[in-house]
Amino acid sequence: MTKIKDIQTYDELYDQVKTYIPEDELKDISRAYAFAYEHHFGVKRKSGEDYIVHPLNVAYILTSINADSATIEAALLHDVIEDCNVTEEEIEEKFGHEVMILVRGVTKINRLTFKNDSEATIVNHRKIIVGLSEDVRVIIVKLADRLHNMRTLWAIPEDRAKAKAKETLDILTPIAHRLGMSEIKSELEDLSLRYYKPNVYFDIVEKLNKTKVERESLVTEMMREVSSILNEHNIKHEIKGRAKSVYSIYNKLNKGKKFNEIYDLLALRVFVDTKEDCYQALGLIHSKYKPMPKRFKDYIAMPKANMYQSLHTTVFGINGNPFEIQIRTYEMDLVAEKGIASHWSYKEGGKVMQNAMEQKLQFFRSIMELTEEENKSSEFMNAVMNDVLKDSIYVYTPKGDVIELPLGSTPIDFAYRVHSKIGDTMVGAIVNDQIVPLDYKLKENDIVKINTNKNSNGPSKEWIKMAFTTHAKNKIKNFYSKIDKNENLKNGEETLVKEFRRKKLSLSTFLESEDLERVLNEYNMNTLDDFYIAIGAGQLTPTQVINFLTVDKPTKEEIVLSRNIRNAKPTVSKNDISVEGIDEIKVNIAGCCRPIPGDEIIGYISKGYGINIHRMHCPNVSDLEERIIPATWQENIDKRYETGILVRALREKNILVDIVSKTVGSNVIIQNINTMESNEEYLYEITLLTHNVDELKKFMNEIRKISSVFDVERNIK
Ligand code: MN
C-alpha cells in the first residue's frame, strides 16, 4: 500500500497539479486556494494545524488519481459553505457552475454529521448513495475528505473516533471498493481498523513486524528469480513486492484463517506491456513453480464487476514457501488502483466518468434499481447494505458472463439479477452441471444455469423466503401485487359499469367528461386504472363517486336551470283580492300554501300584520275560524303569482332538465328547484310563477307525462 503523503504548503500541491492539468486551468486552482485560505484564515483544526491544511491535503490526495481541475477546486473549497458562510451563489459566480455543484454536493453530505441517532445516520448514508447518482466526483471528493480526516482522527474523542471509523467501514470503503479505487480504499480501511478495533490492529501490526525482515528477504529473492526467467524469454517487465494491508489480514483472520496460513503474506506483482505477455509470464512461472490448486484466477478474461483485471496465482517458491503472484499490464494496474477515476476525461468534465460508472459498474445499476423500488430511507439503506455493499461473490452464466451477488445469494437471486423475466419463469437451477434446490447457497465461481418455462405460473410465494437479496424479494412481491392489481382492475371496472347502469347513468359520458378528472383529483389518483383498482379493492364505492359527482358540482341540469329560471319577485296587488267588508287594509299572500288566481281563498286576520290570504284547503288555517273572513280573486288578473309544486319520480335518472323543458310553450316560469333524493325516488320541490290555476294544471299535466314521474301536487309547507 502506497500511502499518499501529507503536505503542508500550496507549492507542494501546485507542483503536483501542473504535471497533468492544462496550464490555462492552473490559475483557477490558485484562485480557489487563495479564496479558501482567506476564508479559513485564523481557524485551527482540532489537531492544532491551520484549517487550510485540511482542504489542501484533500486536494492533494485527489491528484493521486489525476482528478480534473473542477474537482481539485471543489476539494479546496469543500468546507467554505459549511464553515465560512460563503453562499452557493458566490462560488458559482467566482468558480463556475460545475465547481459549485460539486461543493454543494459535498456540503449536503457533510451537513448531517455523525450522530448516534440511527435515523440521522441512515439519512446521511442515503445522501452519500444519492450523491453517486448526481455526480460521482462528489463522492470522490468525499472519500478524499474522509481519508484526510481519518489521518487526524486521534484529535477527536475516542467514542466519536470509533463511530467515525465504523461509518467509514460500513459505507465509504465499500463504495471506494465498488468504484475500484483500491489505493484510497486500502488506506481508509487500515485507518478505520486502527480506531475501530485498536487491539486487533496493533496485534496484526506486531506480528507483521516480527516477520518483516524474513518476509522481505524471501520476496526479494523470489523477485530476482522470476525476473530472470522472464528475461530469458525476453518479456519486458517490472516486479514489485507487495505489502499486504493490515485490514485484508484482519479479514482473513476473521474468516477463521490462522496468521501463518495466509498465503499472500508473501506477495509480488508483475507488470508487463500486453495481455499476451500476462499469459506467457504466467505459463513460465507455472512451469518453474508448482501452482497451488484452486488458487488460479483469470480476472483478465473475466473482469471483476468493478472493472478489475489481473491474473492471480499462488505458487510454491523459494524454500517451498507459497507466494501469491499477480500479473497485469500497466493499463490494468491503473484501473486496479484508481478504478473509476481511470476514466477521467479532461475535455468533458465528469460526464465521461459518470457514464463509465453507470454503464460499467454493476453496483451502480443495483443501487439505481433499489432507488426506484424503495422509498423509506431505512429500508433503502438496508437494501443497499445487504445487496450492494456487503461481501460479494462472483458467479458465472454458462456463457461466462460474470454476475456479482452478495454472499448468501441463491439461484433465485441470480435469476432476478440477470433479468426479472428469467426469475418470473424459472422452473429450476443447475449449478456446475448439478441440479440444485432453489435455496442452494451459491459459492464463488459457481456456473449457474437457470431453466425457464415461459408457460410457468410465475414465481412461488415461498421464494420470497429463499431469496437473499432485497432486489429479488421485491421483484417477486411485485409479481404478486401486479396479479392482485389486474384482478382489482377487472373487478373495479365491472362494478362501476353495473352500478352506473343500475342508476341509469352513462359511464361513457362520465369517462369522457371533466368529471373523471375531478374524481381522480378528489381521491388522489393518477389514472383511470388507479380508479378501477381502488373500486375493485373496495377502497372506494361507486355510490361515493356518484354522490361526489352529483352533490358537489353544478350539473348540466343546473346550468340549464340557471338559464331558464328568472328572478321575478311577485307582489300582491291589493286590487287583485277583495276581502269582505274591508277596504283599506294590507293584504299578504300566505307563504305556506301560496294561492294563485283560480284558487279558493280565505282571509286570516293577523295581529298587526293585516290580512293573510290562504288557500281554503291550507291546513295551517283550519283551526282559526273565528278570525277568518271570506276573500275572493278579482276577475282578469294579468299577473304571475308565486306558488310551489312537488314532483316525485322514480330514482332512475335525474329529470331536472325534462321538468324545465316543460316550461317551453307554457307561461309558467320556474324560479327554483330543490332536488332531494332517497333510495327509491327523487323529490323535486319547485317554486314557480304562474298566472292562474288553469295554467298551472296544464303545466303539472305536462310533467306527469315524464315517464318516471309518479306524483305531482301543489306544495303546502
Ligand atoms: Mn472536510
Residue bearing cell 342508476: 503
CA of 78 to the centre of ligand 1 (A): 6
Q: What is the pLDDT of residue 652?
A: 77
Smallest Cα–Cα separation from 647: which of 705, 598, 695?
705
- Would you say residue 166 has pLDDT above 60? yes
* Residue range 354-368: mean pLDDT, rounded: 70
Q: What is the pLDDT of residue 115?
A: 47
Where helices occur in 629-692 by DSSP H, the ranges are 656-661
Q: What is the pLDDT of residue 564?
A: 47
- Would you say residue 625 has pLDDT above 70? no
Asked if 681 and 671 count as a contact pair (C-beta separation under 8 A), the reply is no
User: What's the pLDDT band for 569 if we cut at 50, 70, 90?
Assistant: very low
List CB contacts of 416: < 8 A, sequence separation 6 or more: 422, 423, 467, 469, 471, 472, 475, 476
Q: Comparing 443-457, 492-506, 698-712, which segment has the lowest mean pLDDT? A: 492-506
CA-to-CA dists, residue 160 to 113, 163, 195, 335, 407, angstroms: 11, 5, 10, 34, 30
CA of 30 to the centre of ligand 1 (A): 19
CA of 137 to the centre of ligand 1 (A): 15
> Greater confidence, 348 or 102?
102
Kindly state the cell numbers that stand for 691.
298566472
The one-letter code for the residue type at 361 is L
Q: What is the pLDDT of residue 568?
A: 39
Q: What is the pLDDT of residue 71?
A: 93
CA of 56 to the centre of ligand 1 (A): 10
**Strands of the sheet with 669-677, listed across from one edge:** 669-677, 681-690, 641-650, 709-714
Q: What is the pLDDT of residue 348?
A: 57
Helix axis angle for 528-536 and 470-502, nearest 10°, is 80
Q: What is the pLDDT of residue 450?
A: 95
Q: What is the pLDDT of residue 639?
A: 83
Smallest Cα–Cα separation from 135: which of 98, 110, 85?
98
Kindly state the cell numbers that stand for 230.
522472464
CA of 83 to the centre of ligand 1 (A): 10
Torsion of CA 572, 578, 580, 583, to 10 degrees: 70
For the chain, the maximum distance between any two Cα atoms, rounded to a whole number of angstroms, is 147
- Provide, rounded to the nearest whole percent, the portion of the chain with pLDDT above 70: 86
Q: Comparing 33-42, 200-209, 625-634, which segment has the lowest mean pLDDT? A: 625-634
User: What's the pLDDT band for 479 if we cut at 50, 70, 90?
Assistant: confident
CA of 692 to the centre of ligand 1 (A): 93
The dihedrals phi and psi of 257, each to the nearest 5 degrees, come to: -75, 150
Extract the runs of DSSP E, i.e. beta strands, from 554-708.
577-579, 587-589, 601-605, 611-615, 628-633, 641-650, 669-677, 681-690
CA of 134 to the centre of ligand 1 (A): 20
CA of 49 to the centre of ligand 1 (A): 14
SS3 (DSSP) at 668: coil
> Greater confidence, 4 or 424?
424
Per-residue pLDDT tens digits for 484-507: 888 888 888 888 888 888 877 778
List CB contacts of 311: < 8 A, sequence separation 6 or more: 278, 279, 282, 296, 297, 298, 299, 300, 326, 327, 328
CA of 551 to the centre of ligand 1 (A): 61
What percent helix, strand, coil does the chain show, rounded to 5? 55, 15, 30
Residue bearing cell 525476473: 227
CA-to-CA dists, residue 13 to 27, 30, 48, 392, 424, angstroms: 13, 10, 21, 37, 55
CA-to-CA dists, residue 492 to 195, 529, 542, angstroms: 60, 9, 9
Q: What is the pLDDT of residue 152?
A: 87
> Greater confidence, 516 or 88?
88
Helix axis angle for 136-151 and 97-111, nearest 10°, is 50
Residue bearing cell 518453474: 288
Distance (Å, whole) CA 297 – CA 98? 41
- Would you say residue 555 has pLDDT above 70? no
List CB contacts of 403: < 8 A, sequence separation 6 or more: 362, 394, 395, 396, 397, 414, 417, 418, 448
Smallest Cα–Cα separation from 102: which of 127, 133, 136?
136
Smallest Cα–Cα separation from 567: which of 715, 459, 672?
672
SS3 (DSSP) at 612: strand
Q: What is the pLDDT of residue 609?
A: 62
> Greater confidence, 2 or 49?
49
> Greater confidence, 458 or 560?
458
Kindly state the cell numbers that stand for 618.
291550507
* Residue range 654-676: mean pLDDT, rounded: 82
Extract the runs of DSSP E, i.e. beta strands, from 501-600.
577-579, 587-589
- Would you say residue 227 has pLDDT above 70? yes
Distance (Å, whole) CA 187 – CA 147? 8
CA of 82 to the centre of ligand 1 (A): 9
- CB environment 311-334: b (16+ within 10 A), e (fewer): bbbbbebbeebbbbbbbbbeebbe
- Would you say residue 49 has pLDDT above 50? yes
* Residue range 514-540: mean pLDDT, rounded: 82
Distance (Å, whole) CA 419 – CA 18? 47
CB neighbours (10 Å) of residue 592? Answer: 17
* Residue range 648-672: mean pLDDT, rounded: 82
- CB environment 209-238: b (16+ within 10 A), e (fewer): eeeeeebeebbeebbeebbeebeeeebebe
CA of 57 to the centre of ligand 1 (A): 10
User: What count of residues does the chain have?
Assistant: 717
Distance (Å, whole) CA 276 – CA 226? 17
Distance (Å, whole) CA 442 – CA 42? 57
Distance (Å, whole) CA 24 – CA 517? 58
Name the most confidently modeled range: 299-308, 388-397, 640-649: 640-649
* Residue range 261-282: mean pLDDT, rounded: 90
Q: For the chain, what is the mean pLDDT?
A: 84
Q: What is the pLDDT of residue 455?
A: 86
Q: Do strands 628-633 and 601-605 pair parallel, antiparallel, or not at all (unpaired)?
A: antiparallel
Residues annotated as catalytic (active site), given as ranges: 82-83
Asked if 17 and 71 count as a contact pair (C-beta separation under 8 A), the reply is no
> Greater confidence, 238 or 457?
238
- In sequence order, what are the beta bridge partners of 430? 435, 449
Distance (Å, whole) CA 12 – CA 22? 17
Q: What is the pLDDT of residue 565?
A: 47
Per-residue pLDDT tens digits for 61-120: 999 888 889 999 999 999 998 888 889 999 999 999 999 989 988 887 776 554 445 666
CA-to-CA dists, residue 533 to 494, 549, 609, angstroms: 11, 19, 63
Kindly state the cell numbers that stand for 385.
447494505
Q: What is the pLDDT of residue 567?
A: 43
pTM of the model: 0.61
- Would you say residue 133 has pLDDT above 70? no
CA of 212 to the centre of ligand 1 (A): 35
> Greater confidence, 101 or 525?
101
* Residue range 449-470: mean pLDDT, rounded: 90
List CB contacts of 618: < 8 A, sequence separation 6 or more: 590, 592, 593, 716
Q: What is the pLDDT of residue 607?
A: 61
CA of 80 to the centre of ligand 1 (A): 9
SS3 (DSSP) at 342: helix
